[in-house]
């Protein structure tokens, strides 16, 4: 197949010959339709010349938009029906000049011409459909001869069958009534036997009840005897309680004696405490002597510090350097130039640093640690939250346990972390990293460049992505995930429905659990799925795939090129099909195979209605669009079969012809669709 660089005019000529005689196949005077197909678009050639068996036309470079293989299709519509004369691969368009060639074996050829010539040849035979139509005419003539005979035979056969069936049904009903009567008499006998058995059981139950009453009276007598015995036991318990009271009084007397003995022990302890007090006074005197000795040691240390340019700070046990530093907190240390350690156990070092709260540490240039156990380092950093840490240049960690690092980053949320350049983490446990990223809700994470994670526990990564739905995820370039638990990835994708997923380029998933993939596909129905290029699935559970297909009916499925499934549960395939949208089952399309050439010329090769009616192009006057004027395939078959005997060979021949006719049309369209979209 010849390959040409896209954008050049192509002059094509197509010679058609009869494959049997090898003579020219005359095309003049026919109503011809010439089409060029490729995988993305079809071109209906409106201007072409016909000379004997040759069709000539020009494919201008200015309208060439798609690369790949092109197929030429020549159709004859002279008698109002579609008849494909031939279709064949014509040429291939390539992107670059060095890919072009005059033929597959010629790497140079005409690759640098601005206008190319393409010559095609086809050899065809008498069409299969023409043979079938002739066979139909012959069979129809034979059927007329058998029609009258069939009517007589049918009438006699029906009367005989009806008579036999009535007799058989009468005998069957009489037998059933007899069987039912016998069964009911047997059931009545069994019921009487059951009643007699129930009477005997009732008598037995009455005897059992009398025996039970006698047993209960005997049990009541025994219970009374037990109550009498219990009264005797209670009297014995009362006697025991009196004895217990006497024993407790005796115990109280002994306890009073023990208290008296304890008073004597307390007096002895008081004497011991006085002796202990004297011993403590003696110890205090010795401790004062030790303090005096420590003061002498401190004076010696101060003298040493004066030699090292260190002095005691204003706070207890604090030290500072002489260079205008301040150490006013307990056990604080200030070193360097103009540093301030004003909180207990703080440490400030460098130039202009401040550690102003308990346990804080600041170092570097103009850093500040102003909360409990906070730490700032670098230049211009600020740690203002409990346990916060700021490092780098102009970073801020202003909440508990926050961490900011890099340049101009801010960690203002509790337990948050910001790193990189100008990143911001403003919510609890959020994390931002990279350049100018933002994590603004609890547990959010943003990374990359200018990405924003504003939904709870969301994740945004890449460049200018946005994850605003809770637990959502956006990645790639300018993708947006705004639905809860949604996912957007790729370039410019949008997932705005709950649990939706958009991937590829420019795709949109706007409803709950919707899925859009490919390029510019839209899934706007709940649980819908759109894939391919510019497809749309706009109803619940709908599925659209291919190129430009639309599934707008609930649970509908559209595939192929520019197909439409407008009704619920409808299936569309092929290219530019015609879908009739209606609430009436005899009107609404259930399934169709499209064979249209454009938006304004939609047609079907085959169409099923919801009530089961079948229309096939070229049968019963159906042209792919006029179902309301045409006859169904079922009607055509019934008409053709009405005058043929059951055992007639003509019926078998007719059924075979109809089956072949249906198979040829559908297979031809399916083959064309597969070839165009491969």
Q: Are 86 and 74 in contact (CB under 8 A)?
A: yes
Q: Is the pLDDT of residue 241 over 80?
A: no
Structure-block tokens of residue 289: 């002597």
Question: Contact, 305 vs 291, CB < 8 A?
Answer: no
CA distance 548 to 540: 19
Rounded to an integer, the average pLDDT of 634-643 is 82
Please state, in angstroms and as integers, the Cα–Cα distance from residue 412 to each residue in 180, 265, 363, 409, following that order.
Answer: 90, 66, 21, 10
What is the distance between the alpha carbons of residues 576 and 537, in angstroms, rounded to a whole number?
Answer: 17
What number of other Cβ atoms are within 10 A of residue 294's Cβ?
9
Distance, in Å, from the CA atom of 659 to the CA atom of 275, rounded to the nearest integer, reads 127
pLDDT score, position 404: 97
> What tokens were used for 288?
């004062």
State the CB neighbour count (10 A cutoff) for residue 101. Answer: 19
Instruction: Label residue 662 by pLDDT band (50, 70, 90).
Output: low
Of the given ranges (29-43, 249-263, 391-405, 445-459), which has the lowest mean pLDDT?
A: 249-263
Residues 528, 542: Cα–Cα separation, whole Å: 5
Where in the chain are the domains? 3-125
Compute the Cα dihedral for 55, 60, 61, 67 and give only its sign.
negative
Nearest to 97 by CA among 217, 4, 173: 4
Angstrom distance (rounded) from CA 623 to CA 602: 11
pLDDT at 408 over 90: yes
One-character DSSP codes across 470-496? TT-EEEEES-EE-STT-EEEEES-EE-
pLDDT at residue 126 in the model: 52
Q: What residues contact 294, with CB distance under 8 A and at least 6 apart?
A: none
Whether residue 612 is predicted with pLDDT greater than 90 in this model: the reply is yes
| Nearest Cα residue to 495 out of 484, 477, 549 | 484
Distances (CA, A) of 238 to 225, 243, 248, 251: 21, 9, 16, 20
Q: Residues 137-155: what's their mean pLDDT?
A: 58
In the predicted structure, residue 389 carries a pLDDT above the cut 90: yes
Q: How far is CA 607 from CA 83, 277, 632, in A?
A: 18, 115, 10
629 has a pLDDT exceeding 60 = yes
Helix (H, G, I), strand (E, B) or coil at 190: helix
Instruction: List pLDDT tens digits, range 64-122.
Output: 888 999 999 999 888 777 788 888 898 999 988 888 864 444 333 333 334 567 777 76
DSSP per residue over 40-101, as a string?
S-EEEE---EEETTEEEEEE-GGG----EEEEEEEEE-TTSS-EEEEEEEEEEEESSGGG-B
Q: Are strands 333-334 and 319-321 parallel, antiparallel or unpaired?
A: parallel
Cβ atoms < 10 Å from Cβ of 436: 19
- Provide the 10 A C-beta neighbour count for residue 206: 9
Q: Quickly count: other Cβ atoms within 10 Å of residue 75's Cβ.
A: 17
Letter string b/e over residues 557-580, b meaning 16 or more CB atoms within 10 A of that residue's CB: bbbbbbbbbbbbebbbbbbbbbbb
| DSSP sequence for 584-617 | STTTSEEEEEEE-SSTTS--EEEEEETTS-EEET
Q: Is 260 helix (H, G, I), strand (E, B) or coil?
A: helix
Is 319 in contact with 311 (CB distance < 8 Å)?
Answer: yes
pLDDT cut 90: percent of the chain above it: 50
For residue 298 the two structure tokens come to 């401190």
pTM of the model: 0.51
d(CA 674, CA 214): 96
Nearest Cα residue to 346 out of 366, 324, 317, 305 = 317
Rounded to the nearest angstrom, the gap between the alpha carbon of residue 601 and the centroid of all alpha carbons in its chain is: 36
Which range (20-34, 503-517, 579-593) has the least confidence? 20-34
Q: How confident is the model at residue 657 (pLDDT cuts 50, 70, 90)?
A: low
Confidence check: pLDDT of 249 > 60: yes
- Cα–Cα nearest to 89, from 62, 51, 118, 58: 118
Q: Mean pLDDT across the chain, nearest whole number?
A: 83
pLDDT at 644 over 50: no
Residue scoring higher pLDDT (629 or 180) = 629
Provide CATH code, domain 3-125: 2.60.40.10
Given a contact cutoff of 8 angstroms between Cβ atoms, the answer to whether 549 and 538 are in contact is: no
pLDDT level of residue 128 (50, 70, 90 thresholds)? very low
Q: Does 203 have pLDDT greater than 60?
A: yes
Confidence of residue 313 (pLDDT cuts 50, 70, 90): low
The phi, psi pair for 645, rounded to 5°, reads -65, 150
Over residues 435-452, the pLDDT tens digits come to 999 999 999 999 999 999
Mean pLDDT for the stretch of residues 619-623: 95
State residue 448's pLDDT score.
Answer: 97
Query: Within 308-386, where are the H helices?
Result: none
Q: For residues 470 and 482, what is the distance between their CA atoms, to the nearest angstrom? A: 8
Query: β-pairing, 604-609 with 614-616?
Result: antiparallel
Handedness of CA 631, 635, 637, 641 (dihedral sign): negative
Under 8 Å between Cβ of 437 and 449: yes
515 three-state secondary structure: strand
The sign one gets for the Cα dihedral 71, 77, 81, 85 is negative
Across-strand partners of 118?
12
Question: What confidence score (pLDDT) does residue 361 get?
Answer: 96
Residue 135 has pLDDT above 70, yes or no: no
């Amino acid at each position: 197949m010849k390959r040409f660089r896209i954008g050049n005019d192509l002059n094509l000529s197509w010679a058609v010959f009869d494959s049997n005689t090898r003579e020219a196949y005359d095309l003049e005077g026919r109503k011809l339709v010439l089409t060029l197909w490729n995988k993305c678009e079809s071109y209906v050639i409106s201007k072409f010349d016909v000379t004997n068996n040759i069709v000539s036309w020009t494919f201008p470079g200015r309208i060439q938009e798609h690369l790949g293989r092109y197929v030429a299709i020549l159709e004859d519509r002279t008698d109002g029906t579609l008849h494909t004369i031939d279709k064949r691969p014509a040429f291939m368009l390539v992107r670059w000049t060095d890919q072009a060639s005059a033929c597959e074996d010629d790497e140079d050829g005409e690759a640098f011409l601005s206008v190319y010539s393409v010559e095609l040849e086809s050899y065809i035979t008498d069409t299969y459909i023409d043979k079938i139509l002739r066979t139909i005419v012959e069979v129809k003539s034979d059927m007329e001869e058998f029609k009258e005979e069939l009517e007589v035979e049918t009438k006699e056969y029906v009367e005989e069958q009806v008579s036999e069936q009535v007799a058989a049904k009468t005998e069957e009903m009489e037998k059933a009534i007899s069987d039912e009567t016998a069964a009911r008499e047997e059931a009545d006998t069994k019921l009487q036997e059951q009643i007699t058995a129930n009477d005997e059981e009732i008598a037995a139950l009455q005897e059992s009840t009398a025996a039970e009453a006698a047993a209960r009276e005997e049990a009541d007598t025994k219970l009374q005897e037990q109550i009498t015995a219990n009264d005797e036991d209670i009297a014995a318990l009362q006697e025991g309680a009196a004895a217990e009271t006497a024993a407790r009084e005796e115990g109280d007397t002994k306890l009073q004696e023990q208290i008296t003995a304890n008073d004597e022990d307390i007096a002895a302890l008081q004497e011991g405490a006085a002796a202990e007090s004297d011993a403590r006074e003696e110890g205090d005197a010795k401790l004062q002597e030790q303090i005096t000795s420590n003061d002498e040691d401190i004076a010696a240390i101060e003298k040493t510090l004066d030699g090292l340019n260190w002095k005691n700070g204003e706070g207890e046990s604090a030290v500072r350097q002489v260079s205008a530093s301040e150490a006013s907190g307990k056990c604080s240390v200030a070193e360097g130039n103009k540093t301030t350690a004003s909180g207990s156990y703080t440490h400030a070092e460098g130039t202009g640093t401040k550690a102003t709260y308990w346990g804080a540490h600041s170092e570097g240039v103009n850093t500040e640690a102003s909360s409990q156990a906070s730490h700032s380092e670098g230049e211009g950093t600020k740690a203002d939250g409990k346990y916060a840490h700021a490092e780098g240049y102009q970073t801020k960690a202003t909440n508990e346990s926050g961490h900011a690092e890099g340049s101009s980053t801010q960690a203002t949320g509790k337990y948050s972390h910001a790193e990189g350049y100008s990143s911001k983490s403003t919510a609890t446990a959020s994390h931002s990293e990279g350049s100018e990223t933002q994590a603004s809700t609890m547990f959010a994470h943003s990374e990359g460049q200018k990405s924003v994670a504003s939904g709870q526990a969301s994740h945004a990564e890449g460049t200018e992505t946005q994850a605003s739905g809770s637990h959502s995820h956006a990645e790639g370039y300018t993708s947006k995930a705004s639905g809860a638990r949604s996912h957007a990835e790729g370039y410019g994708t949008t997932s705005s429905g709950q649990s939706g997923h958009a991937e590829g380029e420019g795709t949109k998933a706007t409803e709950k659990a919707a899925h859009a993939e490919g390029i510019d596909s839209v899934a706007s129905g709940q649980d819908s799925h759109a894939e391919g290029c510019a497809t749309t699935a706009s109803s619940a559970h709908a599925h659209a795939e291919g190129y430009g297909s639309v599934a707008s009916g609930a649970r509908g499925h559209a595939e192929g090129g520019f197909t439409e499934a407008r009704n619920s549960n409808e299936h569309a395939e092929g290219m530019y099909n015609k879908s009739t949208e209606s609430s009436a089952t005899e009107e609404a399309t259930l399934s169709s195979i499209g064979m249209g050439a454009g938006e304004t010329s939609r047609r079907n090769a085959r169409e099923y209605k919801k009530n089961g009616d079948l229309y096939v192009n070229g049968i019963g006057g159906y042209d792919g669009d006029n179902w309301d004027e045409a006859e169904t395939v079922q009607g055509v078959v019934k008409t053709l079969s009405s005058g043929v005997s059951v055992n007639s060979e003509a019926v078998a021949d007719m059924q075979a012809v109809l089956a072949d006719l249906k198979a040829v049309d559908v297979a031809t369209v399916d083959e064309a669709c597969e070839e165009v979209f491969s």
